[in-house]
Amino acid sequence: MKILKIFVLCIILAYSISYGAKANYTSEEFQKSLFDIGFKEVNVALQESKDHFKKDIGLPIQIPPIEFTHIFGRLSDLDGDINDGFEIEYRHKDKPKNHYMIRVKPLTYGLPIREEHIDQTLKLKDGSKAIYSTKIARGFNLLVFEKKGWQYVLNINKAVSDQATPEILVEIANSVSP
């Protein structure tokens, strides 16, 4: 009888631990959490952004060599023009560290970079410069560059930055379509 009680207790405990430890969303729950804060399909958000800014936005055709399960886009159209921009987020629903973002803003309202935040200045294949920083955004390494009147900010989670080195981010920057 005592063994049976221990066995039943172990089953209940194992079930409650596995149920309580389930941190993974379903894909639908994960998508809804991002749709709820304004994200949508990338092509829809990109078209909204092109219409809003009345200008084409070239995007990189290369992404970091990291596993992602979802990609979302969003036009940030806040009060005034200074905070407006287009964003793409690449996420993995079960691996939160697999997080990569592209932020695009008109150059006029781009992110100012202070000298003390610059880790490296790198050269793109078109001769322009890119700034790599590990100090601007908490938890993310950034590559900031300019093309055709836009400022691009590539953000990679620091936890996977060994897989997306500054050199790989430069390759991605070089792949921005004309």
pLDDT digits (tens, 9 = 90+) for 124-176: 999 999 999 999 999 999 999 999 999 999 999 999 999 999 999 999 999 99
Q: What's the burial of 123, exposed, middle or buried (CB within 10 Å: 0-12/13-18/19+)?
A: exposed
Side chain identity at 132, as an amino acid letter?
Y
pTM here is 0.81
Place of tokens 């809003």: 52
Selection from 90, 95, 114, 73 nearest residue 23 by Cα: 95
- According to the model, what pLDDT value does residue 19 have? 32
- Asked whether residue 10 is domain-assigned, the answer is no
- Asked whether residue 161 is domain-assigned, the answer is yes
- Asked whether residue 132 is domain-assigned, the answer is yes
Number of domains in the chain: 1
- Asked whether residue 16 is domain-assigned, the answer is no
69 contacts 92 by C-beta, under 8 angstroms: yes
* Parent domain of 103: 25-174
Q: For all residues of the chain together, what is the average pLDDT?
A: 84
- Asked whether residue 15 is domain-assigned, the answer is no
Residue 34 gets which letter from DSSP?
Answer: H
- Asked whether residue 4 is domain-assigned, the answer is no
